[in-house]
Structure 1
């Protein structure tokens, strides 16, 4: 049967034709109130519009502290910005902005700068101490940093005595270790867990699929980018020369 043209659109008839149904008005509830429970994140902050603002403020504060640490380490070693730039491939202007906390650095930039100062990226951030003498580093004790260029780095383990840093890196679609290649001391090893990554090494591209492993000297200019169509996760190890 052909439906009548005069039929009311679905969803309107019950409200308009039934006097028992009252439309919600401005007087029903104070403005801004909702029946939905307020969700909170792990820090107890309310989720919603306020959460991104709070996260953004926390990220800015973190970068201010990181920048101050980098500057203090550099001055203690009597290094100029140009000295660090030559060791890393990061421009003097970017290093200056990083020290002043006005730039969200990429993973590659911070790894390179930390290496130039004789430390790991882990040492640039405040982090929780694990249980004394325990061989286990709990997930809650690991340092997680959301970086620029669409990357998140979780430092799962740091062994200063062995000169080793073990991290789990996640790259958003189109994310990368940095806008350009960097270099620093040491060696690094990576295994791709999921997604796809392209490692640019000395200007040559190496595409990694899940299970593939790459190893190279960190003094070769390198950049890591997610060239796939889904987020990528990789385990990365940075090892000092000594």
Structure 2
């Protein structure tokens, strides 16, 4: 569920919404952080969230902060989370429903922050929407156990627990957005997963070379999957290093 076996081209074709969201995140980050003199500064300050401006009618600021980020590690973490945890949900829910959930949980988190957050604070980032996806997985772990195997359930549980803990430990984190994004995802899960069954989901995601879905194939490929994690972590590290070096050299 969380291991990517596709080539880059196959990933783009199979997961169009996830690919588009990652692309938007990276392009807007580079534009606003590296090319501010080409209009990026205006885009940044026009889109960043602020409760005072929302109160004066700039309601788009409940949406646009989802696509803006404050730094390299911020955009890298959210984009990588989308890369790992978005594809399974996009295939499971369908592209339209997945996009609705992603944007809906992100907007809900910003709306709650409007009522409960500091009106003087500026806020931005896709974390509320990403935690919305985590909320759906949390519902699967607790209720829809038929949609997730025990290994993936353990993995996502650990990630959610660590994420919540880090939310309260790290400075400059929008705690309200994280927690209420997670809650929003869990609340939407019963509706969005109501027609999804294990058979219908895995029928869509099994490898084309397989005769059919083998429920034990994860155990048979355990070594391969462990190696994949090494490649994924290494690729992510290289991506972060690349952006960091470019940021140092040119900007």
TM-score, with structure 2 as normaliser = 0.24
Who wins on radius of gyration, i.e. which is larger? 1
TM-score, with structure 1 as normaliser = 0.24
- Structure with more of its chain in strand, by fraction: 1
- Structure with more of its chain in helix, by fraction: 2
